[in-house]
Structure 1
């Protein structure tokens, strides 16, 4: 996906107190900035020589039937009873399925009233509530996972935004909900052409349920990087899949996991934003980013001009996604030479130790891992209809 922006010119002993290394291999070649970190576990190729084998066994498809037709599917969530909630981006509703694949009901509809949506950005089950984030309206709606009744709504616009100097005038556009219902909110500065080039960062603050932003910043991460150019005297900027951006994910105990772009390095912060530890897998090799290949893949004149003029990174981003399951594991998709697949690494979320890894088609993205199952979004090649497919996880 390419996002465009047109700008009007504006005038276990796994780490030690400094740097740790596992004992299965000699010290690997590690970037200097990782050597300088504290409490980092470095895994080498010897640490992945004997890992578990994972098999995903097909169990159930959740899709269209004679009674309901699903549109373009977005976020997916599963409760502890195995009920499936899936966002329909076309119909602006949430479909609900029972574990056996039978269709139960739908929640909400398009609109601006209570329990209605414009753009459903994410779903999250907390206890017996389904938390629905509508980023277009900056609204949270909470529904019962048993009766599906609307329990509450909340405007997500912070009430004290302009009282914190660093984020005055910024746009609260990235929301990560915690298990206590509080939000980790990323604030994007207003993007102007003269300041969009180069590396920029996004501050994250904690927002209480009363919509008050805590004054102490939690973390700061790298923002999307843009490629820019001028066409017909008009400045343009765009992001591409190869432009790096930090990945943020919150664990079930509200620790904050942050991955950068160039390395298989994951940093962990406590819920207050204090750095705790990190782990780095040196055996992962980044995929070279070749300008000539990009020019071949992006024939559009504007794209080619951006790519020719850009100071490109040497490699593609290391990681594409991070997911947490409910068994203290983190599932990480890595970018490899074959662009038809991702190589998924399943790690212990405390130590970063590799449990298993496997290849999986990009066309069947993993969305949720819950109750010993993986849920993917898949598209029928003949009909074009999308469905959610459940697989049972088998580790040997």
Structure 2
């Protein structure tokens, strides 16, 4: 999800100057319910061109082996932090491995299952869904800098089902958190977003929901598996704390107020390959 989020936001900023500012009269039927939609013409010329260039690749380095990459973040010095689950691996801007942060455990600074990372104000935030908490590290000293236990006792969920668990998050300017919780509907996994204050207290009702990933029924069973080419939900927070949501199905970006209420959208028709 991380890389798709970045790509969608890059496309958004590249096309924004080309917006007509007029509502689109040719929205697909499944998007027709939305109003205040600005059309980016199919033949629009982007005001800027973004080219992605490979700088380095991650691989084995001596005794250090990354078997999974769950999340990635960078700081102002362009250092790269990569979550391997119960450790965070630090690389310098040239891709040289520096050290690993944290260890498997439940004590201060310990990690179990970090599925998302954010850097803000010289602090690395690690969302550990295995312990339902956010662990903080100083990006200067790389030492633990406190942890935030998330109070999820009042989160709504159905009885006799697995409680929702935190899967992704963003840090707002006031150090509050927008956290997406995965809910256990195998046929349509979704993220429900709530706001928590800097101390980990739930301070909102559900703000919005977003499809996590499209699934397919597994023949001969009652199980569902992720579709390798199916729709995936995307989200990002803008500089003004507005929330942007999109999906890989359409170039349709919805803009929400910080409280989750829908404000407007951008639509760019693209020809899909068969």
Deviations 1:347-396 (CA, angstroms, capped at 9, x unpaired):
xxxxxxxxxxxxxxxxxxxxxxxxxxxxxxxxxxxxxxxxxxxxxxxxxx
Partner of 1:258: 245
SS in 2 for 1:242: coil
Partner of 1:83: 79
Counterpart contact for 1:159–1:211, Cα < 8 Å: no
Q: Could you say if the C-alpha distance between residues 203 and 69 of structure 1 is closer, same or farther in structure 2, counting changes exceeding 3 Å?
A: closer
Deviations 1:85-130 (CA, angstroms, capped at 9, x unpaired):
22234xx322223334444332111222221222221111111100
Deviations 1:319-370 (CA, angstroms, capped at 9, x unpaired):
xxxxxxxxxxxxxxxxxxxxxxxxxxxxxxxxxxxxxxxxxxxxxxxxxxxx
Greater strand fraction, Structure 1 or Structure 2: 1
Q: Which moved more, 1:169-178 or 1:128-137?
A: 169-178
Distance 1:202 1:59 in 2: 32
Partner of 2:92: 98
1:286 equivalent to 2:236? Answer no
| Superposed displacement of residue 144, structure 1 | 0.4
Partner of 1:177: 170
Q: 2:255 aligns with which of 260, 268, 273?
A: 268
Q: Counterparts of 1:1-396 in structure 2 under 5 Å?
A: 14=19, 20-21=23-24, 29-48=26-45, 52-57=48-53, 59-60=55-56, 64-66=60-62, 68-74=63-69, 75-89=71-85, 92-161=86-155, 166-167=156-157, 169=159, 170-179=163-172, 180-191=174-185, 197=187, 202-222=191-211, 224-228=213-217, 231=220, 235-282=222-269, 284-288=270-274
SS in 1 for 2:250: coil
Q: What TM-score comes out, normalization by structure 2 length?
A: 0.76
Counterpart contact for 1:227–1:239, Cα < 8 Å: yes
| Superposed displacement of residue 60, structure 1 | 5.0
- Listed as ranges, the gaps of 5+ residues in structure 2 are 1-16
Count of aligned pairs between the two proteins: 253
Distance 1:208 1:119 in 2: 22
Deviating beyond 6 angstroms after TM superposition, the runs of 4 or more aligned structure 1 residues are none
Q: Could you say if the C-alpha distance between residues 38 and 13 of structure 1 is closer, same or farther in structure 2, counting changes exceeding 3 Å?
A: farther
| Superposed displacement of residue 47, structure 1 | 0.5
